Amino acid sequence: MAKTVVIDTPECTACGTCVEICPEVFALEDGAEAATVIQPTGGPEDSIQEAIGSCPTSCIHWQD
Ligand code: SF4
């Protein structure tokens, strides 16, 4: 199975950094308390990796 991207929602501060870096995969609804993954298996891996590295609470992870 392909690895998927997940957000550890309780840790997310809804800062929007991941959405800025990789809007193909992450989204943040107006007023939401956490970002969501809209494309868990697709998307540009480089951007996903950059988002993981840039998340201030390190709450984005790959899951096998
Ligand atoms: S970068 Fe991290 S803390 Fe910020 S919205 Fe994305 S998942 Fe949440």
pTM of the model: 0.93
Structure tokens at 34: 């956490």
Comparing C-alpha atoms, which of 15, 13, 12, 40 is closest to residue 26?
40
Q: Please tell me if the CB atom of residue 48 comes closer than 6 angstroms to any atom of ligand 1.
A: no
Q: Please tell me if the CB atom of residue 21 comes closer than 6 angstroms to any atom of ligand 1.
A: no
CA of 5 to the centre of ligand 1 (A): 12
**What's the number of domains the chain is made of?**
1
CATH code, 18:
3.30.70.20
pLDDT of residue 41: 82
Spatial separation of the C-alpha atoms in residues 53 and 30, rounded to whole Å: 24
Spatial separation of the C-alpha atoms in residues 44 and 51, rounded to whole Å: 11
Which residue's CA is the nearest one to ligand 1's atom 2?
55
* CA 58 to ligand 1: nearest atom: 2
For CA atoms 36, 41, 44, 47, the dihedral sign is: positive
Structural domain harbouring 9: 4-63
pLDDT of residue 1: 60
Residue-level pLDDT, tens digit, the chain, 64 residues: 678 999 999 999 999 999 999 999 999 999 999 999 999 887 889 999 999 999 999 999 999 8
